[in-house]
């Protein structure tokens, strides 16, 4: 007894799956790009915690276009681009805290402000310690649900036949 099976339309199924894979790959790229933008927006909001908010740090927060790191997998970065705007190279020390020391011939940091005695005038110190004021790491945590929703949306659209 001989049994034969004939598959009809297998090329259509293969083509449909291939096309779906392409759409999922495109959606992964777009999702990674949008995720970085979501984090960027939240990080910019988080910079408003600083006592003297100028907007320069917020304006310096940029994103990179996604880079492929594997099948259907992309990486994108959100970071303060120091040097893009005057006064923004301090993004790291704002996030992590640290000590600023003078690198000039006088050996002092100089600025105007309120002194310990309450008077206003010129202040000189050899170093200043800044406490951490995270704005970027919390942005990632605060954005997780929005990123998950965005990825679910773009992937959901990609797998529709």
pLDDT score, position 5: 77
Residue pair 111/87 in contact (Cβ under 8 Å)? The answer is no
The size of the chain, in residues, is 161
pLDDT score, position 50: 75
- For the chain, which ranges sit under pLDDT 50? 87
Which contiguous run of DSSP H or E holds residue 81?
A: none
**Quick check: helix, strand or coil at residue 123?**
strand
pLDDT score, position 87: 46
pLDDT score, position 88: 58
Residue pair 155/143 in contact (Cβ under 8 Å)? The answer is no
């Amino acid at each position: 007894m001989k049994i034969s099976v004939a598959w009809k339309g297998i090329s259509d199924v293969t083509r449909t799956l291939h096309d779906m894979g392409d759409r999922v790959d495109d959606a992964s790229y777009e999702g990674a790009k949008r995720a970085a933008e979501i984090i960027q927006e939240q990080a910019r909001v988080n910079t408003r915690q600083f006592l003297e908010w100028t907007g320069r740090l917020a304006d310096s927060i940029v994103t990179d276009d996604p880079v492929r790191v594997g099948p259907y997998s992309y990486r994108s970065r959100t970071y303060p681009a120091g040097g893009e705007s005057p006064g923004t190279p301090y993004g790291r020390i704002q996030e992590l805290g640290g000590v600023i020391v003078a690198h000039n011939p006088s050996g002092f940091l100089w600025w105007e402000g309120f002194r310990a005695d309450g008077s206003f005038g010129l202040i000189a110190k050899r170093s200043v310690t800044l406490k951490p004021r995270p704005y970027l790491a919390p942005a990632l945590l605060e954005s997780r649900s929005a990123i998950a929703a965005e990825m679910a949306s773009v992937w959901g659209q990609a797998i529709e036949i």
